[in-house]
Structure 1
Amino acid sequence: MEKSVTRTLHLLSLLQSHRQWPGPELAERLGVTTRSLRRRIDGLRELGYEIESTPGTGGGYRLTAGNRMPPLLLTDEEAVSVAVGLRIAATTGIADAESTTLSALAKFEQVLPPALRERVNAIGRSVEPQAPRGGPVPAELLGALALACRDHEQIRFAYTAADGARTRRLAEPHSLVSADRKWFLVAWDNDRDGWRTFRVDRVRELTGTRVRTEPRTLPAEDAAEFVAVAAGSVPTRHTARAVLDMPLEEMRAHFGPWAHDAHAVGASRTGWPFGGDSFPLLSTVLVWIPEGVAYRIEADEDYLLYLREQAARMLAAAEASLPPAKDS
């Protein structure tokens, strides 16, 4: 009996890990006959698993979505990943995520073996996700966008820009990206004939068109890089420029997509525009300049005075904590 249950669980694990399995291959992996395999398939169906079977030489078995949630079979590593993901999801800005994900986590952790529960708790104590910015995002909207990205289906939606302007868009979705504590949709904008990023919390009235499109090539290494570059080009309240004693190619190699606006200043120096909505936020860029690279700042006098004041405060704080210099 125990061996039979083990084989059935192994069968479920195989079905969950592959889109479709040929019947003879499944039977061989389980070490059973094809007749015994069919009995185990029927047993899983009685538990609520929707398993399609296709006859013929090219047929086999495939696990599909059903009308109710059947039990899941996860490896130890998968179980830990799911539990940690639920902890993080509670702070990602999804509407009602805190209550729904935490209740799901409570149910999930209740059935975890003690060793796995301790691993989840240890990771949870060490990981502190940042609080989301912007408005909440309905989980249904994220799910619908994710399916549209997967199926390459054109979508229509209403969009509210940062300045309050409201437009209707027809787009070909590519990816969803969580960045800067917000959700972004990367898509080809058919109306503007170009790639765009859309804040998902500003998307309304999403509808599918049932029109499938050929995937387009994104002009970046990946969607996260595209969002990072796009975010860097958004107008900000304050702007400045750092001129680094560093050749342009070397600077680009160090900063990657964050160097998209950098430009050569002679043969050995690079100009790097940067911006922010406040002086403190503007200054965070400077800490990423490599150690030992000299630079100067070109900016409004107010910002330069702010930098001088902050530098003096930091120097005084450091001097107060350093041991007295020894007499030579």
Structure 2
Amino acid sequence: MADTSRRMLRLLTLLQTGRAWSGAELAGQLGTSPRSLRRDVTRLRELGYPVAAPRGPGGHYRLAAGSAMPPLLLDDDETVAIAIGLQLARAGAVEGIADAAAQALRKVEQVLPQRLAAQAHGLLRAVDAAPPSWPGVDGALLTELSAAAARHERVRLRHRRRDGGERERIVEPHRVVLLGRRWYLLAWDTERDDWRTFRLDRVERARRLGQPFRPRPLPAESAVDFLRERFDAHAPEQLVVVTFHASVTTVAERLSRKDGALEPLGDDRCRYSARVDSYEWMAVVLALAGLDYTIERPAAFAVYTRALAQRMAAAAGEPA
């Protein structure tokens, strides 16, 4: 009985790889006869695993989609990854799934084998995630738009513009993209006859229309690349140059922004140059470095920094 159970677990592991196996291949992998293989397949089906095997000499075994979810076989790393992923999902970046994630996490914890329990429980106790400070996305909306993109089905959107007004559009969804801290829908706008991006936190309603469409080729390697290129094209960047009164090594260790260029000017001075689309963010980056520096250019950044320093000094009040 123990040999049979081990063989069935091995069979299930092979089927869950997603490929189709011939009977001879599976029997060879399991070291059993074709007759025993057929019995093992029958037992898996009785346990709820939808093992498909077309009739005929060319038929192959594969694990098909079923109407219910049977138990899964996961290795150690996969089990821990699922537990951590569910813990992060509870933080609420996607609205409406926190309770489901917590319930699923409890189920995973209950069935963890002893060799993983201590490791996983330690990780879960040590890892905590605060709710995001940026707008979340509704889980039902995310599901609706993702399904429309996967099935190539047009959607009617009610979208809130920056000025607060609302407008309905019919779009052909291509991808739902998480970029930075926001969720976006990349879609073909049938009215504008062009690609558009919609922030999901501004989508009031989305309804699939049951109208199929033929997917259009995207003018980029991926949806993420397309969004980045479009956002970069519309972001007015400025070159900021400052001189740090510290060595290149010290500045490199303390600077949180790594996409600029550092140039040594001696043992205790260096120049930092970076293109930015936000003076606010660059001021924070420089302040958090905790090092003395002098702004070389542009003058507008120096003006902004002085005004920011005055506001912060006023907010702190007079010393006691």
Residues 83 and 105, structure 2, Cα contact 8 Å, conserved in 1: yes
| 8 Å Cα contact 1:92-1:181 kept in structure 2 | no
Answer whether contact 1:149 1:173 (CA < 8 A) is retained.
yes
For 1:69, the equivalent position in structure 2 comes to 69
Within a 5 Å distance, the mapping from 1:14-29 to structure 2 comes to: 14-29=14-29
User: What residue number does 1:242 align with?
Assistant: 239
Provide closer, same or farther for how the CA distance between residues 71 and 58 of structure 1 changes in structure 2, counting only shifts above 3 A: same
How big is the shift at 1:18? Answer: 1.2
- Post-superposition offset of 1:99: 1.8
Shift of 1:9: 1.0
Verify the 8 A CA contact 2:45 2:51 in the aligned structure 1.
Answer: yes
Q: 1:60 is paired with a residue of what secondary structure?
A: coil
TM-score by length of 1: 0.70
1:46 corresponding residue in structure 2:
46
C-alpha distance in 1 between matches for 2:294 and 2:212: 52
Any conservation in 1 of the 2:27–2:34 contact (CA below 8 Å)?
yes
2:207 is matched with which residue? 206
Matches for 1:92-131 after TM superposition, within 5 Å: 92-124=92-124, 127-129=127-129, 131=131
RMSD: 3.9
CA distance in 2, matches of 1:223, 1:196: 11
How does the TM-score come out when normalised to structure 2? 0.71
**Counterpart AA for 1:275:** S
Unaligned runs of 5+ in 2: 243-257, 261-271, 315-320
| Aligned residue number for residue 10 of structure 1 | 10
Farther off after superposition, 222-231 or 62-71: 222-231
Helix, strand or coil at the partner of 1:168: strand
Mark the CA change 1:225 to 1:168 in structure 2 (over 3 Å): closer, same or farther. Answer: same
Identity across matched positions, percent: 36
Shift of 1:308: 5.1
Q: 1:95 to 1:193 in 2, by over 3 A?
A: same
- 1:69-111: CA deviations, max 9, x gaps? 2111111111111111101111242223222211210111111
- 1:261-280 superposed Cα distances (whole Å, 9 cap, x missing partner): xxxxxxxx98945137xx4x
* Higher mean displacement: 74-83 or 154-163: 154-163
Matched, 1:275 2:281: no
* Contact 2:155/2:207 (8 A) holds in 1: yes
Q: Secondary structure at the match of 2:16?
A: helix
Q: Deviations over 1:125-157 (max 9, x none)?
A: 565546335554333332343344444444443
Structure 1 segments unaligned to the other structure (5+ residues): 246-253, 257-268, 314-328
Q: CA deviation at 1:122?
A: 4.0
Aligned CA distance change for structure 1 residues 161 and 61 (closer, same or farther; 3 Å): farther
- 2:177 aligned partner: 177
Q: SS at 1:40's partner residue? A: helix
